[in-house]
Structure 1
Amino acid sequence: VAVFTDVDCAYCRVLASHLGGYLADGIALQFIASPLSSRGTPTYMAAENVWCAVHPHKAFIKAYSGGVPAPAPRPCAVIVAHDSQVAHAMGLPGTPGLIGPHGAVLGGYLSPRDLLARLRMDAATEPSP
């Protein structure tokens, strides 16, 4: 499941805090930067610091636990800008924005149990190839 996320989004932080629950249910999550604020703002720069970090996973955990990630050692505004454009093109109204394995927009925050139920429901209604 792709998760478009913003480091300052409260429900994104809730989702990140339940990471173990998603993994325990066999749900793989791929987080994608989608800051809701403009380039140059603290939120946007925090997204760059997470996604451009030497160890993005560690920076992600720190940022979503309320910490401040270290400044990124390399510029990568293009990555964050591209991911934000993709979220906009998909019509995601906010964060978190969940996209299922077949490209369906699943909505916003869902608990691990609710997301698993939604994925099972979507899989049952997927047409066979």
Structure 2
Amino acid sequence: MSPQGIIESSSALRAYYAVLLGGIEKYGSGEDLLPLLDDRFSFDGPIAGHVEGASRFARGVKGFIETVREIDFIQAVATEDGAAVLYDAVLPNATVRFAEFFEFEGGVIRRVSILYNASEYTAAGGH
């Protein structure tokens, strides 16, 4: 199955990436994202560090949504409990590779850990 097919087969991933690619005009304050995240949601990433709470994450991910133009999925593996997704994000000035690791609980996202080169991301126009 293709990476896109794996993402499409997981309702949590499908909805998450639809929000990320939906554009900043549609995003607002994250009303479509928040229901996808567990009450005890946590995030780890190179720029934000460790973040606790869905609302805080929803505010922080706004910068990515503002700048991402396209996501080219390279590889994805998903189970009922988690997923790993490797993709290239097309940003205003360059393309940057990301690896995201998800933990699911009760059909929603409990945790996201993301790996990417932070200096490449900011040089590419990300914020």
Instruction: Provide the TM-score with structure 1 as the length reference.
Output: 0.28
Structure with more of its chain in helix, by fraction: 1
Structure with more of its chain in strand, by fraction: 2
| Structure number, greater radius of gyration | 1
Instruction: Provide the TM-score with structure 2 as the length reference.
Output: 0.28
Give the number of the structure with larger relative contact order, counting CA–CA contacts within 8 Å between residues 6 or more apart: 1
